[in-house]
Chains A and B, each alone.
Chain A
Amino acid sequence: ETGVTQTPRHLVMGMTNKKSLKCEQHLGHNAMYWYKQSAKKPLELMFVYNFKEQTENNSVPSRFSPECPNSSHLFLHLHTLQPEDSALYLCASSQGLAEYNEQFFGPGTRLTVL
């Protein structure tokens, strides 16, 4: 158990649906991350939050909308997605943004867009 939980674990949605992914960390960390993992591709950083403030948006399409209400919770709101958005979405957290802070990952949400 890494201390980072994600719900749901699996999600199937149509292109016109709106859904949200949830991440919660129980490690007392201050920084949280969203990554996208597609087959045969490296993990791709999407967003970074530190103390609830967004510090990185890696040119992510606006159909992905993150929300970080506090340092323990992170959401990814999804709307009008495309089939190529199907992937494993991983949440991670770290103590802070300093260079020596390891990132700890949740189990991921497997998203399928029909």
Chain B
Amino acid sequence: EDQVTQSPEALRLQEGESSSLNCSYTVSGLRGLFWYRQDPGKGPEFLFTLYSAGEEKEKERLKATLTKKESFLHITAPKPEDSATYLCAGGVYGGATNKLIFGTGTLLAVQP
């Protein structure tokens, strides 16, 4: 069964304290690993898509990397405004439908 698992479930950091979020996946025929940010009361906001092992993408203080089994979201010198739930999803293309298999997310709190 296709599955995406995120860890930790919650993470509390001090401002400026760098860390990484993990997303491990068992998805047959993975077609992209997607990262989203979700703020309370809002829908997920697209951050990155990674397509092949070794690929890296950066946006401000965030860098996403991908291996054959997992993806990491590295947060460098986080600020309080980075506090959110970070979701990862494995893309599955079934010929007729583009599906995303989501993890349960990591709730990140960055304290000043």
Nearest chain-B residue to A94 (Cβ)? B98
Cβ of A62 to closest chain B Cβ, rounded Å: 20
Which residues of B41-64 are within 8 A (CB) of A?
41-46, 49, 51
User: Cβ of A98 < 8 Å from any Cβ of B?
Assistant: yes
A-B contact pairs, 24 of them (CB 8 A): A40-B104, A42-B101, A42-B104, A43-B44, A43-B89, A43-B100, A45-B99, A45-B100, A48-B97, A50-B97, A56-B96, A56-B99, A90-B44, A97-B96, A100-B49, A102-B49, A105-B43, A105-B46, A107-B41, A107-B42, A107-B43, A108-B42, A108-B43, A110-B41
Contact surface of B with A, Cβ cutoff 8 Å: 4, 31-32, 34, 36, 41-46, 49, 51, 87, 89, 91, 93, 96-105
- Nearest CB in chain B: distance from A37 CB, A: 9
Secondary structure dominating the interface of B: strand
Residue-wise, chain A 84-114 has the 8 Å CB interface mask toward B (1 for contact) of 0000001010101111111111111010000
Asked whether A74 is an interface residue with its Cβ less than 8 Å from the other chain, the reply is no
Residues of A within 8 A of B4 (CB): 42
The 8 Å CB contact of B93, one of A92, A99, A104, A106, is A99
Contacts of B32 in A (CB 8 A): 99-100
